[in-house]
Amino acid sequence: MDLGLTGKVAMVGGASRGLGFAVAKALVAEGAQVSIASRDAVRIDAAAEALRAATPGAQVLAVPGDLRTSADITMWHEATMERFGGLDLLFVNTGGPPPGPSLSFDDAAWQGAVDLLLLSAVRMVRLAVPVMAARGGGSILMTTSSAVLEPIPNLALSNVVRASVAALVKTLSNELAPQKIRVNNLVPGRIDTDRVRELDEGRAKASNIDLAEQRRRMEATIPMGRYGAPDEFGKAAAFLLSEAAAYTTGAFLQVDGGMIKGVW
């Protein structure tokens, strides 16, 4: 299937590794011009080189920036406009907040989670929409977590704030449809990334078991019996961002191996 992404301009957040990198890799492979951002300048430059190596001739711009801040998001957006002259696709993604129960966090921690997950999304979209509308439409995809459907123990900040992001997706999908801008949500389950490994290490330590046993226990809760590969997530993102999903907006696609048990 031709996803129709050749020549499209995409911005992909949190792309130095993990889910963001996997999405950038899938878009580049489909012929998109991709601007990637992350806080770590060394890692984001290395990610760009890896993308170019995987797809010779790929057009990739790497921009170091802290997506918790309005100034750095604006700087990334402006650098993308200068390099590529427009924007068609936006993948909203940042790192995750620290684990812990609800009452263990002070106001600063809660505000930090809001800045990281919710306000970053609002700021990215606010800059992207006028450009997309001027080009006749576009596609926005946000990644959240299975926590938006089933709260995860000891991840209070993520549970609460990512649920707000999910509500933002649905709200924006209705508001932006007249401008031919689609907005969807991609929900990862246990994808084999550094972030998931770090969470598994914390759970293993708390349960006084080794990491291999912790992973075995988690895999036992997944009908497909394994963690997902980042590339599987990336390909799902490329589909939702593409014209192959032209009549899909306000949707929540789970990439979880059947882990989420609810009907909805």
Inform me whether the pLDDT recorded for 90 exceeds 80: yes
- Superfamily (CATH H level) for 9-189+230-247: NAD(P)-binding Rossmann-like Domain (3.40.50.720)
Inform me whether the pLDDT recorded for 75 exceeds 80: yes
| Average predicted confidence (pLDDT) for the chain | 95
**pLDDT (average), residues 30-37:** 98
**If pLDDT is split at 50, 70 and 90, which confidence band does 264 have?**
low
Residue 253 has phi, psi (to 5 degrees) of: -100, 125
- The percent of residues above 90 in pLDDT, for the chain, comes to 91
**pLDDT (average), residues 203-209:** 91
Domain with CATH 3.40.50.720 in the chain: 9-189+230-247
| C-alpha distances in Å from residue 80, one per residue of 9, 133, 148, 170 | 9, 16, 31, 26
Q: Residues with Cβ < 8 Å from 104, sequence gap 6 or more?
A: 156
Strand order in the sheet with 89-92: 60-64, 33-38, 9-12, 89-92, 138-143, 181-188, 252-255
For residues 78 and 147, what is the distance between their CA atoms, to the nearest angstrom? 33
CB 92 within 8 A of CB 140: yes
Residue closest to 34 by CA, chosen among 6, 11, 64, 65: 11
**pLDDT (average), residues 56-69:** 96
**Element spanning 18, H or E:** helix 18-29
pLDDT at 262: 77
Neighbours of 104 (CB within 10 A): 12
Estimate to the nearest angstrom the gap between the alpha carbon of 35 and the chain centroid.
14
Handedness of CA 49, 53, 55, 56 (dihedral sign): positive
Residue type at 191 in one-letter notation: I
Radius of gyration, CA atoms only, the chain: 18
pTM for the model stands at: 0.95
